[in-house]
Chain A
Amino acid sequence: QKEVEQDPGPLSVPEGAIVSLNCTYSNSAFQYFMWYRQYSRKGPELLMYTYSSGNKEDGRFTAQVDKSSKYISLFIRDSQPSDSATYLCAMRHNDMRFGAGTRLTVKP
């Protein structure tokens, strides 16, 4: 079993839809949870960063961490074509572990 599981998609939604991206993990020692966005041919950029459980909101983006279920989510409201990218979850105890990334396409 991989330490971090993420459905690679691809996921295609119409513009304006609410997008839900998820990861599950097995290592209960993870304390830091991150979402990265990677556009094609670019390096990943940090999108959201959460320590321990709870919710964090930044504009159209909301990150949720449920440590009891070992489940993290990223919600994108009012999705835009410019949100089309690959989204990687990552989590850390001592070392970083990444999900496989979910490729998202938002169609106009």
Chain B
Amino acid sequence: GAVVSQHPSWVICKSGTSVKIECRSLDFQATTMFWYRQFPKQSLMLMATSNEGSKATYEQGVEKDKFLINHASLTLSTLTVTSAHPEDSSFYICSARSPTYEQYFGPGTRLTVT
């Protein structure tokens, strides 16, 4: 099946610093990618929809200036958590929509802010 990768898989950063997470679709072009956040024992929560070449669409309650999304190519979207705080510690998952509209998830990135 289609593969979506994320990097890094695990990151620890200090409060106030910024962290960039990459999401790549390895064997298909994805005009649309999605970013989710998952807190322990909770379901995935959609943060934003990323469309190649245009601005991301953020869900209500998600700060676009804090969670910067760039979808510069058909195979790469990045999520930058700016000025991270401990409450941003979470599991961040991206997914990519294939040309036939299936959605494939990345393995996730565990962010810990100390």
A residues in contact (CB < 8 Å) with B:
32, 34, 36, 41-46, 49, 88, 90, 92, 95-96, 98-101
Bound: A42/B93 CA distance, A: 9
Interface status of B80 (Cβ within 8 A of chain A): no
Contact across chains for A46 and B1 when beta carbons are under 8 A apart = yes
Contact across chains for B43 and A88 when beta carbons are under 8 A apart = yes
Interface status of B34 (Cβ within 8 A of chain A): yes
B residues in contact (CB < 8 Å) with A:
1, 6, 34, 42-44, 46, 49, 91, 93, 95, 101-108, 110
In the complex, what residues of A have CB within 8 A of residue B49's CB? Answer: 95
Contact across chains for A96 and B34 when beta carbons are under 8 A apart = yes
Among B1, B95, B107, which residue has its beta carbon within 8 angstroms of that of A42?
B107
Q: Which residue of B lies closest to A90 (CB)?
A: B103
Contact across chains for B43 and A100 when beta carbons are under 8 A apart = yes
In the complex, what residues of A have CB within 8 A of residue B104's CB? Answer: 46
Interface centre among A36, A44, A49, A90, by most chain B C-beta atoms within 10 angstroms, is: A44
Contact across chains for A36 and B105 when beta carbons are under 8 A apart = yes
For the A-B complex, the count of residue pairs with Cβ-Cβ distances under 8 Å equals: 41
Q: Which residue of B lies closest to A49 (CB)?
A: B102
Nearest 4 CB-CB pairs, A to B?
A: A43-B108, A100-B43, A43-B107, A43-B105
Q: In whole Å, how far is B112's beta carbon from the nearest beta carbon of chain A? A: 13
Contact across chains for B44 and A98 when beta carbons are under 8 A apart = yes
Bound: A46/B106 CA distance, A: 11
Contact across chains for A88 and B44 when beta carbons are under 8 A apart = yes
Q: Which residue of A lies closest to B10 (CB)?
A: A41
Contact across chains for B46 and A96 when beta carbons are under 8 A apart = yes
20 A-B pairs in the complex with CB atoms less than 8 angstroms apart? A36-B105, A41-B108, A43-B105, A43-B106, A43-B107, A43-B108, A45-B105, A46-B102, A46-B103, A46-B104, A46-B105, A49-B102, A88-B44, A95-B46, A95-B49, A96-B34, A96-B103, A99-B43, A100-B42, A101-B43
In the complex, what residues of B have CB within 8 A of residue A41's CB? Answer: 91, 108, 110
Among A32, A42, A90, which residue has its beta carbon within 8 angstroms of that of B101?
A32
Bound: A35/B42 CA distance, A: 16
